Structure 1
Amino acid sequence: MTDSNAHSTNAENTDATEPTAEVIGAGAGNTTEKDPEDWVTGEEPMTGAQRSYLDTLAREAGETLPADLTKAQASEHIDRLQAATGRGQES
């Protein structure tokens, strides 16, 4: 089997229903985005990255947030604080 045949065989075995980067990052109007309240992992503790970004946003907004937020709560605060601080907006 040549390399080109191996490559085409791999392409044929790709699951067409698997999300791609284009689908996941479709941007505004992306219908794949879920409300944080509907997240399967939404009740888990926020991630370290969320905590770090929230600390930055809260400091800029002059707010203090609790340290025990869930992933869903952290996401909602991030959205709110981005709007309040102007961060995360497209140029």
Structure 2
Amino acid sequence: MTTSNNSSTPDESGEVLGADAGNTTEKDPSNWVTGDEPMTGAQRSYLDTLARDAGETISADLNKAEASEEIDRLQGKTDRG
């Protein structure tokens, strides 16, 4: 099977990834199995950046699900989403 980085046409199965795929596998963060674990280092760093850009302070003890929800909210507020 050949792939192309700039192709926007589906493969033989009709499946696509990216902007045209319509993310059907995305789960609500509150339903994540690991959602109650502490946020990851990447989430913490990105939240710090977003919160600064938004002029907000956010608790540093969020879990993964809470961090994801805050990231979504702040991305909308800062036009980074």
Q: Which TM-score band (shorter chain)? A: 0.7 to 0.9
Give % identity: 77
If the length of structure 2 is used for normalisation, what is the TM-score?
Answer: 0.74
Decide which structure has greater helix share: 1
CA distance in 1, matches of 2:18, 2:80: 20
1:82 aligned partner, one-letter code: Q
Report the structure number with the largest CA radius of gyration.
1
Written as runs of structure 1 = structure 2, the 5 A alignment for 1:17-32 is: 26-27=18-19, 29-32=22-25
Match of 1:33 in 2: 26
Written as runs of structure 1 = structure 2, the 5 A alignment for 1:41-60 is: 41-60=34-53
Structure 2 alignment gaps of length 5 or more: 1-14
Higher relative CO (CA 8 A, sep ≥ 6), structure 1 or 2? 2
CA distance in 2, matches of 1:69, 1:61: 18
Q: Deviations over 1:13-41 (max 9, x none)?
A: xxxxxxxxx77x54562110000000000
If the length of structure 1 is used for normalisation, what is the TM-score?
Answer: 0.66
Q: Which runs of 4+ in 1 moved over 3 A?
A: 25-28
CA distance in 1, matches of 2:18, 2:31: 20
Structure 2 counterpart of 1:70, from 51, 63, 76: 63
Task: Please provide the CA RMSD for this pair.
Answer: 1.8
